[in-house]
Amino acid sequence: MKYIRKNIWELFAVTMVTGLLILTYMLYSLWGQIYLRYKLEQENVARISAHSTKAMLAQYEVTLDILGAYLVKNDTYKDTIKSKRVLKKLLKTNPSIAGLGLVNPAGQIYVTSIDKSVDKLPNLFEKKETKESFKEVLKSDIMVLGRTYFHSTLNMYIIPIRKAIKDKNGHLVAIMAAGIKADNWYESIDNSREVSTQYKSFLLRDSDYYFQLVPYNNNSKLKKNYYNNHIPIAFAKNIENIIASNNNTTVEKAKNSQQVISGKYIDYMDSKEVLSSFVYIKKYKLLRMVQIEMSIVKKEFYKRALPIVVIFTIIGMFMFFLFIQLSKTAKKNRLELEYQAEHDYLTKLCNRYYLSKKFDNRLLSKSFTVIVINIDNFKNINENYGHKCGDMTLIDIGKRLNKIRKKDDILARYSGDEFLFIRHDINKDDIAKLAQKIIEELYEPYRFGDLYFILGASLGIAGYPMDGKNFNDIKKYADIALQEAKKKKNTYQFFEDSIKQKHLRHSLIEQELKVALINEEIYMVYQPQIKADGSFDGVEALVRWQNEKLGSVPPDEFIKIAESTGVMVKLGQYIIEKSLSEIKKIQTQTNQKFNLSINISLKQFIEPDFYENLLQSITNSGFDKSLLTLEVTENIFIEDIEEMLHLLKKIQKEGIKISLDDFGTGYSSLNLLKKLPINELKIDKSFVDDIQDDIDSEKMINGIILIAKQFDMTILAEGIEKVEQKNILTEYGCDMFQGYYFSKPLCKEDLLSFI
């Protein structure tokens, strides 16, 4: 069905071709039936006609035999009056005979039925029309037919017949001659049958190819042409060969068997195509030929074929109009499907698929600007008011953007709460005004019944061709600019070179980080942690990365990328195993036990098998669990806090301590602090930096320490760079310190020396 919908006119063509083939077969079969009927009917006519001709000639021959024998008996013919009376009496009983006569072997007529002196009648040896046939009759025992000719005395065409009369000893005595009325004979033989007159019958002499008998109703001029001119021998031979070949026989076989054979050819007389059927009358060397013009056969075919063709044409026209309707319906359905495929079902705006077609890289010609619009904190709408309200908001956003859109602008819902506004303009000032207008329009309050709220929008902007050479790149760069805009919220950001460089570095870090562990570019350093009394307590494991292309990449730069690209879990496992292994080795070398703190990422914590992997790594290294501290930040509680608390308590039961890093910079509250299974609280460097000069920072640290003491937590301050900072913190009761004042992070060899 899918193929049919796509190729409706191909189906029509196949249907019509099939119909034409059927029509052709039907017409071919009809033609075959009509042609065969005419052929068989004509052959039957030829067969009957030949039989009648042969019977009549035999009758004439008997008549001549009897009459001739009577006239020569006792020299009766010498009595002219008596002989003429006998001849005339016979003529009355045989109206088809024009005249009778008895001729001597020298060609001179003895007696004739014509009222004319025999002396004035021509000698048959001397007359052109009779000379050859008269010679033949002298040598023949059967009746011989002479050439048909126009008898001026009788004023008609006659067919001469002659029979040699012999005595009882076989000696030639005379020749009995008669003239048969050609037209009367044709009428009596060929028109006496219940057969259509459309068949024309001819009698042809085989010896000289002259016509012996032609249709009597032909006009005199045409009749004269037939009787006075023989068929060209070459033409006659060619016709014989064609017909014999078509009937799979030879001319001689056909003549000897006297079978009916048929064939088509062009008549030499009037240049018309005819179907002819031939029967050879061997005794008298005559060829009975019946023919019909092919135009008559074709006329009947056309007459019978016309209704079929008309019906087919009507059906074809009906099919054509039917397929037009099907095509229109298919086109309408296709357009609807295309619309559905190219438009967002909710907002009715263009979608991503439409953009992929519209901005095929091969078709880019005009410059344009892409504005990526992302609704700030849109997920709060779905979470607080439900998805139905969220859908209504998206529809309203689409309507608001449509109000701003010009005729040539393209507006699309790309995904979720992200929209694309594309304008064929790259003037930065114009685009900035457009971006500001979009922000203002989307900032207008949204009202749905009793609900009332305001949403901001962040916009990222990039243009073709100044920012990229294809649509995908432009969209990507607009997304990058969007990320910068979202840091501020409800503003727009153009994709600029500084952002591009930042993105390129981010991409390079991401690319190189994926193979950093394989290339052994990641290594560990350890920063000592000192007790208030100045004694060495332990170290914090810090990861470092030295790359050939990037040089030394700071952790705060590549850790975020590792977390966003899925590399952090593998990297975190490496940090745990490497730190445990190296510190265990140093403990063995120094014969001194000390604490090890390892930072754990949120991405590691949410891994299902983190707990099992941690214990397995500790076991593999032989490290004392009681000397291990896991440092976590407040952002782990963005996830399911109950699940995180359950995991931390399990870890703590194993004797592993938990340290809360960067306290005071994130989401912590006193209520949360009360719930957490925390052994150690780390004061962030940002508070320590200002402790000497900022009374508020000093009060903040003092408060944190007091709170932590209430929960029996160890207090560790990081970022100590001056002795004054250390003294103030010691005075407030801080338990441990970490910072460059004591030592920078050390590689394992330098740590060994430090200890």
DSSP code of 146?
A: P
The verdict on 573 and 491 lying in the same domain is no
Element (H, E) at 162: strand 156-166
Report pLDDT for 639: 57
Whether residue 60 lies inside any domain: the answer is yes
State the Cα–Cα distance between residues 445 and 208, nearest whole angstrom. Answer: 117
Are residues 263 and 242 in contact, defined by beta-carbon separation less than 8 angstroms?
yes
Whether residue 303 lies inside any domain: the answer is yes
Single-letter residue type at 460 = G
* Residue 235, domain CATH: 3.30.450.20
Of 555, 543, 545, the C-alpha closest to 516 is 545
State the Cα–Cα distance between residues 439 and 436, nearest whole angstrom. Answer: 5
* Residue 430, domain CATH: 3.30.70.270
State the Cα–Cα distance between residues 533 and 262, nearest whole angstrom. Answer: 136
The verdict on 301 and 434 lying in the same domain is no
Q: Which positions of the chain have pLDDT values less than 70?
A: 1-6, 116-119, 189-196, 216-219, 361-363, 637-640, 664-672
Whether residue 556 lies inside any domain: the answer is no
> Final residue of a domain: which of 341, 366, 386?
341
Report pLDDT for 641: 74
The verdict on 392 and 462 lying in the same domain is yes
- Per the structure, the complete domain to which residue 34 belongs is given by 1-341
Report pLDDT for 665: 57
Whether residue 548 lies inside any domain: the answer is no
Whether residue 463 lies inside any domain: the answer is yes
Are residues 155 and 149 in contact, defined by beta-carbon separation less than 8 angstroms?
no
Q: Locate tokens 């649509």: which residue?
A: 471
Q: Assign residue 305 a region (left: φ > 0; alpha: ψ between -120 and 50; beta: otherwise).
A: alpha
Task: Report pLDDT digits (tens) over 402-445.
Answer: 999 998 999 999 988 999 999 998 899 999 999 999 999 999 99
Are residues 431 and 369 in contact, defined by beta-carbon separation less than 8 angstroms?
yes
Residue 407: strand, helix, or coil = coil
Output the CA angle 380-384-388, nearest 5 degrees.
95
pTM, full prediction:
0.53
The verdict on 230 and 155 lying in the same domain is yes
Of 701, 666, 684, the C-alpha closest to 738 is 684
The verdict on 321 and 440 lying in the same domain is no
The verdict on 264 and 332 lying in the same domain is yes
The burial class, CB within 10 Å (0-12 / 13-18 / 19+), for 300 is middle
Whether residue 520 lies inside any domain: the answer is no
Whether residue 417 lies inside any domain: the answer is yes
The verdict on 286 and 407 lying in the same domain is no
The verdict on 392 and 267 lying in the same domain is no
* Residue 597, domain CATH: 3.20.20.450
The verdict on 279 and 404 lying in the same domain is no
State the Cα–Cα distance between residues 67 and 69, nearest whole angstrom. Answer: 5
Report pLDDT for 667: 47
87: which residues sit within 8 A by CB, 6+ positions away? 67, 100, 101, 111, 112, 113
Based on the structure, what is the number of domains in the chain? 3
The burial class, CB within 10 Å (0-12 / 13-18 / 19+), for 335 is exposed
DSSP code of 267?
A: -
Whether residue 474 lies inside any domain: the answer is yes
State the Cα–Cα distance between residues 547 and 636, nearest whole angstrom. Answer: 29
The verdict on 324 and 405 lying in the same domain is no
DSSP code of 157?
A: E
Are residues 252 and 267 in contact, defined by beta-carbon separation less than 8 angstroms?
no
The verdict on 589 and 701 lying in the same domain is yes
> Final residue of a domain: which of 302, 321, 341?
341
| Chain centre to alpha carbon of residue 133 | 81
The verdict on 9 and 120 lying in the same domain is yes
